[in-house]
């Protein structure tokens, strides 16, 4: 029996448990891997759904607003931005946004009130209200932004108990705010957003510098436009 001259054995390797021998098999395996990775990515984006994020304003307006009862309360305003890195079709709906101000030993919470534009008339700051604050739709792969005004609300207190409840805890007068600001170098603000269909809360934190100019100008003009920066 005559032996035939056989060439060297073809190189082979395993791929996901499959033995790949020929070059054509390698091309097929590559196509299979690309197809599998595409399917896995699509499955992951479908399961992940919407993925919103909130961004703090570059400029925060701190101003004193006089109420009907003659009390001047400290309020905030700023351009809030949102993004949604979810895939197309996975939209996010921002239900509401709150701003929590931490200054000295006080922590007060304010709620979004309106969407507005801001203008300056001489030394007066004027907010032209466009609409009452309402849920914002952020499309998948898109972004949205609004200049939002915030205001304190009366805190709901349960029936009388042994633990005291201050309904006006979130109202900080102009004089009290200036007094606290003069004791601090920074004012910390947390912007928090809730979304429909998810228990997740998105947050962004920034700080204002309580400089001498900040305090003096705010006391004189009843408003100040302060740069808000990420905490160090």
- pLDDT mean over 158-182: 87
- pLDDT mean over 186-202: 93
Which percentage of the chain shows pLDDT scores above 90? 63
**Which has more confidence, 37 or 223?**
223
Of 86-90, 154-158, 225-229, least confident by mean pLDDT is 154-158
pLDDT digit string (tens) for 25-50? 555 556 655 665 555 445 444 445 79
The separation between the first and the last C-alpha atoms of the chain, rounded to the nearest angstrom, is 84
This model's pTM is above 0.85: no
pLDDT digit string (tens) for 44-77? 444 457 999 999 999 999 999 998 888 889 999 9
What does 22-90 look like in DSSP terms, one character per residue?
Answer: SHHHHHHHHHHHHHHHHHHHHHHHHHH---EEEE--SEEEEEEEE-TTS-EEEEEEEEEEEEE-SPTT-
d(CA 197, CA 176): 39
Q: Is 57 left (phi over 0), alpha (psi -120 to 50) or beta?
A: beta
Taking all residues of the chain, what is their mean pLDDT, rounded to a whole number?
85
**Which has more confidence, 110 or 29?**
110
- pLDDT mean over 201-210: 97
- pLDDT mean over 84-97: 93
With a cut of 80, say whether residue 151 has pLDDT above it. Answer: yes
Q: Which pLDDT score, from 0 to 100, does residue 12 have?
A: 57
- 88: CB partners within 8 A, 6+ apart: 139, 140, 141
pLDDT digit string (tens) for 117-131? 999 988 899 999 999
Q: Which pLDDT score, from 0 to 100, does residue 110 have?
A: 98
């Amino acid at each position: 029996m005559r032996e035939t001259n056989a060439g060297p054995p073809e190189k082979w390797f395993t791929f996901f448990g499959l033995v790949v021998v020929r070059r054509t098999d390698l091309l097929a395996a590559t196509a299979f891997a690309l197809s599998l990775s595409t399917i896995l990515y699509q499955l992951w984006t479908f399961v992940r759904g919407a993925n919103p994020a909130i961004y703090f304003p570059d400029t925060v307006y701190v101003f004193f607003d006089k109420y009907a009862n003659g009390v001047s309360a400290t309020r905030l305003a700023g351009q809030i931005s949102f993004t949604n890195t979810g895939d197309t079709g996975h939209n996010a709906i921002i239900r509401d946004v709150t701003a929590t101000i931490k200054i000295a030993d006080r922590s007060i919470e304010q709620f979004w009130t309106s969407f507005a534009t801001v203008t300056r008339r001489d030394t007066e700051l004027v907010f032209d209200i466009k609409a009452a604050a309402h849920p914002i739709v952020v499309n998948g792969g898109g972004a949205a932004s609004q200049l939002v005004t915030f205001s304190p609300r009366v805190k709901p207190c349960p029936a009388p108990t042994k633990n005291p409840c201050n309904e006006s805890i979130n109202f900080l007068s102009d004089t009290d705010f200036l007094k606290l600001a003069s004791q601090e170098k920074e004012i910390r603000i947390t912007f928090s957003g809730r979304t429909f269909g998810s228990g997740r809360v998105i947050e962004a934190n920034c700080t204002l510098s309580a400089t001498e100019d900040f305090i003096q100008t705010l006391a004189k003009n009843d408003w100040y436009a302060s740069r808000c920066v990420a905490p160090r």
